[in-house]
Amino acid sequence: MTQEVEIEFKSMLTKDEYETLLAAYDLTDKVKWQANDYFDTPTFELKNHGAALRIREKKHGQVLTLKQPHDVGLLETHAPIQEKEAENLFKYGIIHDDQMKEALASFDLTGPLEHLGRLETKRAEIETPDGLLVLDESHYLEIHDYEIEFEVTDEAKGKIAFEQLLRHHGIPLRPAKNKIVRFMEEKVRRNQG
């Protein structure tokens, strides 16, 4: 299990802006697929604490991640997960990793974990002198959107660099919630509708 603090800036993009940035950074042929499967209790207890649990699947394996609020950014707790363990989480809401169970215990969940759905992303990324530039095209719950993420280690410098990057490409800042938040809000909206 590993932990890291994620500091990132994001903005929603139009399809044209997304494609322009892919071309500008020579990333058009470097797009990779990944999928996030999200889990919470039936009453969204993790979401209500500002936390989220997901399995991220890439071409070469899966990782279980708990994201939770932190002083700066988000604290991410990662644990590799094998196919059988993932199957147990999907089917029965069972987590095998002891450290992940311990991290989740602080939320004192009263309901069982259940699979809420999948978000698939086509992602391209490139390391710049100021941070990691990530371009995402995502599909979930009949929604299709585009965003730019900029992951940094220094919040103040990163904010300036991100704003300069957007200005340089003539892209307005359109505040973006995390993918998992967008997914959860849409899921709740559909459950109420």
The closest of 33, 31, 32, 34 to 55, measured between CA atoms, is 34
Q: Which residues contact 125 (CB under 8 A, 6 or more apart)?
A: 27, 132, 133, 134, 135
Q: Say how far apart CA 112 and CA 115 lie, in whole Å.
A: 10
- Collect the ranges in the chain with pLDDT lower than 70: 1, 193
Q: Say how far apart CA 22 and CA 169 lie, in whole Å.
A: 12
Contact, 161 vs 12, CB < 8 A?
Answer: no
- Per-residue model confidence (pLDDT) at position 36: 95
pLDDT tens, 75-124?
889 999 999 999 999 999 999 999 899 999 999 999 999 999 999 999 99
- Per-residue model confidence (pLDDT) at position 190: 87
The answer to whether the predicted template modeling score (pTM) of the entire model surpasses 0.85 is yes
- Per-residue model confidence (pLDDT) at position 74: 81
